[in-house]
Structure 1
Amino acid sequence: MKVTEIMTTEVETCTTDTPIQAVAIQMLNLDVGSIPVVDTNGGGLVGIITDRDIVIRGIAAQFALDTPVGQIISSDLVTGTPDMDVEDAATLMSEHQIRRLPICEGNKLLGIVALGDIAVKDQTAENSSEAIENISKPAKPNG
């Protein structure tokens, strides 16, 4: 099964210039924990902002609520491709301990595959159970 068969295609985004508070409100209104971030110039995907990013990199670091999210997003973006199998997506998500995988063609966002999509829509339970187990492991401390 390909990721295009299970991904969400109508994905709300924000830009690198969107203020932290506006993205938090967008998450609240959409009832989601992450929003893909696109470049204000070309619209290409540059990152994902999560509720955790807002708290840890924004509020705890004492950034003002009107700070653009581009200042707090992670630069190590992990993406998948539309021709990717669901099993490969689950493996990639496990390796990087991420719960949502943007699916892109070049830097153009086509959709997102969430761990829940794999668990519900992919009938091979092995993919989701392995991904859940690996994603949920505590991160190894830097050292």
Structure 2
Amino acid sequence: MDKKIRDIMTPDPVGVYYDQTLAETARVMRDAGVGAVLVVNGDSLSGVVTDRDLVVRGLAEGAGPDSPVGPVCSAKLVGVDADAGVAEAQRLMGENAVRRLPVIDDGQIVGIVSMGDLAASGTEDHSPLAEVSKAEPNT
């Protein structure tokens, strides 16, 4: 039986505000031990920003550590229902070329599911991605 996304997601996603700085966002990621955070502008979700986005879209393009994070977030948002199966999340990631999906339950974002979460879910127990995803963080 296909596992549900709610069973493998990272619950309680971390968020930052659109106008928070790249440096503040990096510290939030470090302190929470995550590689992606949600970006909120007012009352709405603007996108997702990853540690890679901070470097490639931010610093490498000339933005300083005091620049706002909003302009470097990925605005293309694709979410998955918390009760969807792993196969549905895999399909959405493939079709949309994204590595993480916000998880939605009753209209609210309740988590994030990543490619690593999918790999570690047991569908491909011996893949290199599954092994790395199951390992303790290298801090």
| Same fold? TM cut 0.5 | yes
- What is the DSSP-based 3-state SS (H/G/I as helix, E as strand, rest coil) of the residue aligned with 2:11? coil
- In structure 1, the partner of 2:68 is 68
Going from structure 1 to structure 2, the CA distance change for 1:81 and 1:97 (only over 3 Å counts) comes to same
Q: CA deviation at 1:106?
A: 7.4
- In structure 2, the partner of 1:85 is 85
| AA aligned opposite 2:123 | T
Question: What is the 5 A alignment of 1:1-143?
Answer: 1-39=3-41, 41-42=42-43, 44-105=44-105, 108-121=108-121, 123-125=122-124
Q: CA deviation at 1:98?
A: 2.4
Q: CA deviation at 1:95?
A: 2.5
- What is the DSSP-based 3-state SS (H/G/I as helix, E as strand, rest coil) of the residue aligned with 1:38? strand
- Provide Cα deviations, 1:32-80, integer angstroms capped at 9, x if missing partner: 22111122x21x3221111121112211221232221112212212211
Q: How many residues align?
A: 126
What is the distance in 2 between the residues matched to 1:57 and 1:124? 33
Contact map agreement 1:78 1:101 (CA 8 A) in 2: yes
- What is the DSSP-based 3-state SS (H/G/I as helix, E as strand, rest coil) of the residue aligned with 1:101? strand
Q: RMSD over aligned Cα, in angstroms? A: 2.3
Q: CA deviation at 1:97?
A: 3.0
Runs of 4+ in structure 1 over 4 Å off: none
| AA aligned opposite 1:5 | D
Going from structure 1 to structure 2, the CA distance change for 1:64 and 1:82 (only over 3 Å counts) comes to same
TM-score calculated relative to the size of structure 2: 0.77
| AA aligned opposite 1:28 | R
Going from structure 1 to structure 2, the CA distance change for 1:21 and 1:106 (only over 3 Å counts) comes to farther
Taking every aligned residue pair, what percent have the same amino acid on both sides? Answer: 37
- Provide Cα deviations, 1:94-117, integer angstroms capped at 9, x if missing partner: 223322211125763111112222
Which of the two has greater strand per residue?
2
TM-score calculated relative to the size of structure 1: 0.75
What is the distance in 2 between the residues matched to 1:76 and 1:117? 20
